[in-house]
Amino acid sequence: MIKRILKSNQVKNLSNNPEKNKTEQFEEFCKTSHPAVVAENIGSLSPDDAWTKLKPLEPSLRAEIFTHLETDFQIKMIENLKRYDAALLFSDMPHDERADLFMLIPEDKQEVILPALAQAEREDIRRLTAYEENTAGSVMTSDYAPLSPDLTASQAIEHLRKVAPDKETIYYAYVLDKQRKLMGFVSLKDLIIADRNASVSEIMHPEVIFAHVGDDKEDAARKIQKYDLLALPVVNDKDALVGIITYDDAIDIITQEHTEDLEKFMAISGSHEVASYINSSAWTHFKNRAGWVVALAVLGLVSGFIVQKYEELLIQFAILATFMPMLADTGGNTGSQSATMVVRALALKEIAIKDIFKILAKEAKVGLYLGLLLGVIAYGRVIFFGGVDSIPAATSVNMIGIAIALALALQVITATLIGALLPIIASWMNQDPAVVASPALTTIVDITGLLIYFMMAKLVLGV
């Protein structure tokens, strides 16, 4: 059995099959395989050839496979379709994906397709596309299964059976009153276990976990994760049910947020929102990355001015320049580490803004340990690996070692605290903590580090 599965997954190039049975074989393949597997398969063809293969299939199966194609590919395919074919595809798609795709096709194409859709479908697209980006409303789907509280368990199952083909899921059904207000929910499991004649209102769970249309989509996804839900109902301002977010969308939202967090952390702007790495041009990549890099390079010039200010000191003690890269790197590394820990703990709700003093106390300790350890290493480097032949007579190697070790220790402690503090401040200002990206932090602690370094050197060396 398993061999057969592997085989069908490996059918890479369908056109290798003899021409005669081609269509039949493809139909058989579509019926037995997961639509995502079929989509991957025809994704390597041109959009026109892919459509030629899909066209003879039964419309709902065709729409299911189409839904699993890459977005770019879907758009290209739609652009070449006749109005009627395009409208038929749209009719059978899941409502949330249909609304998202509709927004991405060219406006003239939208105007051609819209009149070919049924009134209810037009309304649905209009409604679903009206919500602001990143809200629960913008990711929900309207093809949920509502139930009346008066049905019996067996009537409810019969009802779900009938509506199943048009619904995103029938495993969770929502019990609504006359104003479409959410009274409770039942799972198909509840209905099957229950007495056949028990009423839905008796079986249902009246305490429903839900989201509001205006909630952040990531918060909604985290609710699905926290409560192990198959779907989360979404209500509008009047507490009426308007849609659901399903677990598979929650996984995608969480993955997307991960990517965005990581990119924000590395000061790359909005790159994964539109296209994948390989489909974005070098120019697009450049635009996404240049902003922060230039801003930070300009900020990095501040470090340059500090160095310039202490030029005399550097000429007198050339060994100080030797430790500048290590000081900058170590400050950046320790600061980025504490920032990463705090950003992630905030995202996972392990800590909140009110824990600020607990966090700073902890990071101060971690910074102290790291600072002591690194200070000792730097002192050892100065004493044992010299490079201090040309120091002024009045100064000892020992004093230089102490100055550098103290400056490094202080730099590490400061960087660790700044790294922990900035994400908390960002969070307190209702900004995403990840904006205090590692590159920005590195540049900031570079500046503080150099100030600490030269001031400490002047103090200890008495110049």
90 or 210, CB closer to a copy of itself? 210
Shortest reach from residue 112's CB to a copy of itself, in Å: 30
**185 token code pair:** 């929910």
Report how far residue 147's alpha carbon sits from residue 184's, in angstroms, rounded to the nearest whole number.
10
410, 452 contact by CB (below 8 A): yes
Q: How many CB atoms lie within 10 A of CB 431?
A: 12
292, 440 contact by CB (below 8 A): yes
Report how far residue 195's alpha carbon sits from residue 207's, in angstroms, rounded to the nearest whole number.
21
Report how far residue 51's alpha carbon sits from residue 42's, in angstroms, rounded to the nearest whole number.
9
Shortest reach from residue 126's CB to a copy of itself, in Å: 26
Among the residues of 240-281, which ranges form H helices? 247-265
51 or 66, CB closer to a copy of itself? 66
Shortest reach from residue 424's CB to a copy of itself, in Å: 12
117 or 232, CB closer to a copy of itself? 232
Shortest reach from residue 52's CB to a copy of itself, in Å: 24
Q: Give phi and psi for 124, each to the nearest 5.
A: -60, -45
26 or 247, CB closer to a copy of itself? 247
Shortest reach from residue 146's CB to a copy of itself, in Å: 15
131 or 247, CB closer to a copy of itself? 247
* Mode of pairing for the β-strands spanning 172-176 and 146-147: parallel
Among the residues of 213-355, which ranges form H helices? 217-226, 247-265, 282-309, 311-316, 319-347
Report how far residue 67's alpha carbon sits from residue 82's, in angstroms, rounded to the nearest whole number.
18
259 or 398, CB closer to a copy of itself? 259
* Residue corresponding to tokens 């789907």: 141
113 or 426, CB closer to a copy of itself? 426
Shortest reach from residue 72's CB to a copy of itself, in Å: 12
Shortest reach from residue 181's CB to a copy of itself, in Å: 6
Report how far residue 125's alpha carbon sits from residue 315's, in angstroms, rounded to the nearest whole number.
70
Give the bridge partners for 231, in sequence order. 246
Angstrom CA distances, 130 to 112, 133, 145, stand at 20, 9, 22
261, 434 contact by CB (below 8 A): yes
Shortest reach from residue 13's CB to a copy of itself, in Å: 18
Shortest reach from residue 321's CB to a copy of itself, in Å: 5
Angstrom CA distances, 442 to 253, 335, 452, stand at 29, 7, 15
19 or 228, CB closer to a copy of itself? 228
134 or 154, CB closer to a copy of itself? 154
Give the bridge partners for 152, in sequence order. 199
Shortest reach from residue 197's CB to a copy of itself, in Å: 15
328, 321 contact by CB (below 8 A): no
290 or 459, CB closer to a copy of itself? 290
23 or 308, CB closer to a copy of itself? 308
Amino acid letter, 334: T
Q: How many CB atoms lie within 10 A of CB 282?
A: 7
Closest to 306 (Cα-Cα) out of 404, 462, 455, 451: 451
Shortest reach from residue 84's CB to a copy of itself, in Å: 28
301 or 425, CB closer to a copy of itself? 301
Angstrom CA distances, 161 to 30, 63, 155, stand at 24, 21, 10
Shortest reach from residue 119's CB to a copy of itself, in Å: 28
Buried b (16+ CB within 10 A) or exposed e, 300-321: eeebeebbeebeebbebbebbe
